[in-house]
Amino acid sequence: MSAFMDLNKCENTSRDASTFDDENSALAMNSNDSSTPAAKRSKRSIHFDKVYIFYFPRQQGFNSVPAAGGCTLGMALRHVAFEAMSVEEHLGKLGKQNNNQLNKDSPEPMPAYERRILLKTAGIPKIDAEEKLDCQRIRKSRKECGCACRGLCKPETCSCSQADIMCHIGYEWFSCGCSRSTCGNIVGRSEYNYDRQLTYARDKLMRLKQEGEKSK
């Protein structure tokens, strides 16, 4: 059995999409043949021997809202090439990527001009300008959130409490108006902790790095 991973990239590889379709058909025929030793072994355990990385042409996405503005990035419905490697080789590549990520506090939003450059480089002749306006409206609506309480937050007047949701304290533009000492929301109150999120991300990357080194 093979593991599959999709990447939003378009690069030249030594194998094209049709080659993979032929190989995939052969794998399917072998898996249906119960007389082969491999089929008998698969009944007892699952074994991953390859990782296929698919490469897709880049397109305008229309399925997200960029935090820093600009057009969205997406990919075509069908891949144009793929790359096959062993599980060990793939873990080694992930280890190198994770080492680079460990030196970064958190991913930064991609500026609007970089998004346009990526699409132009990918050969997109015309970018739909209406999408940019739609995303602006959505971002504006997302800022209008949380209760408008000032001072004492009362359950009978707090919009969050009336909706049976917790008051939320997050980013400066995504927070309720109450404070910890004056919040009277009967459902509760939640505060976003950036340091805790960063610690979790670093621990996760370290575990992936260690797993990659053990597999070598």
If one counts every other C-beta atom within 10 angstroms of the C-beta of residue 203, the result is 10
Q: Please list the ranges in the chain whose pLDDT falls under 50.
A: 1-14, 26-32, 34
pLDDT for the residue numbered 106: 58
Q: Is residue 40 part of a domain?
A: no
Which residue range(s) make up the domain with 88?
50-99+109-144
Is 192 within a domain? yes
The answer on 121 and 79 residing in a single domain is yes
**Which residue, 123, 144, 165, sits at the end of a domain?**
144
Q: What is the pLDDT of residue 45?
A: 74
Question: Residue 40 has what pLDDT?
Answer: 54
The per-residue pLDDT for 29 is: 47
Write down the residue that tokens 């969050």 correspond to: 160
In this predicted structure, what is the pLDDT of residue 98?
62
Are residues 122 and 69 part of one domain?
yes
Q: What is the pLDDT of residue 54?
A: 94
Output the six-digit token pair for 142: 């997302």
Q: What is the pLDDT of residue 25?
A: 52
The DSSP code for 58 is E
Q: Describe the crossing of helices 87-102 and 194-214 by its angle, rounded to 10 degrees.
A: 150
- Say how many residues make up the chain: 216
Regarding whether 151 and 135 lie in a shared domain, the answer is no
Beta strands in the chain (DSSP E): 2-7, 50-55, 58-60, 73-75, 81-85, 167-169, 189-191
pLDDT at 210: 81
Q: Are residues 190 and 139 in the same domain?
A: no
Same domain, 130 and 168: no
Same domain as 174, residue 116 = no
Residue 82: which of 8, 3, 14 has the closest Cα? 14
**Which pLDDT does position 2 carry in this prediction?**
37
pLDDT at res. 47: 77
Q: Indicate the pairing of strand 50-55 with strand 2-7.
A: parallel
Examine the domain organization and report whether 82 and 124 are in the same domain: yes
Pair 138, 54 in one domain: yes
C-beta of residue 50 within 8 angstroms of C-beta of residue 2: yes
Quick count: other Cβ atoms within 10 Å of Cβ 33?
A: 9
Question: Number of folded domains in the chain?
Answer: 2
Task: Say how far apart CA 206 and CA 101 lie, in whole Å.
Answer: 10
pLDDT at 139: 86
Token pair for residue 64? Answer: 């997200």
Give the span between the Cα atoms of 166 and 177, in whole angstroms. Answer: 13
Confirm if 67 and 112 have CB atoms less than 8 A apart. Answer: no
58 within some domain: yes
What is the pairing mode between strands 81-85 and 50-55? Answer: antiparallel
Question: What local confidence, expressed as pLDDT, does residue 170 receive?
Answer: 73
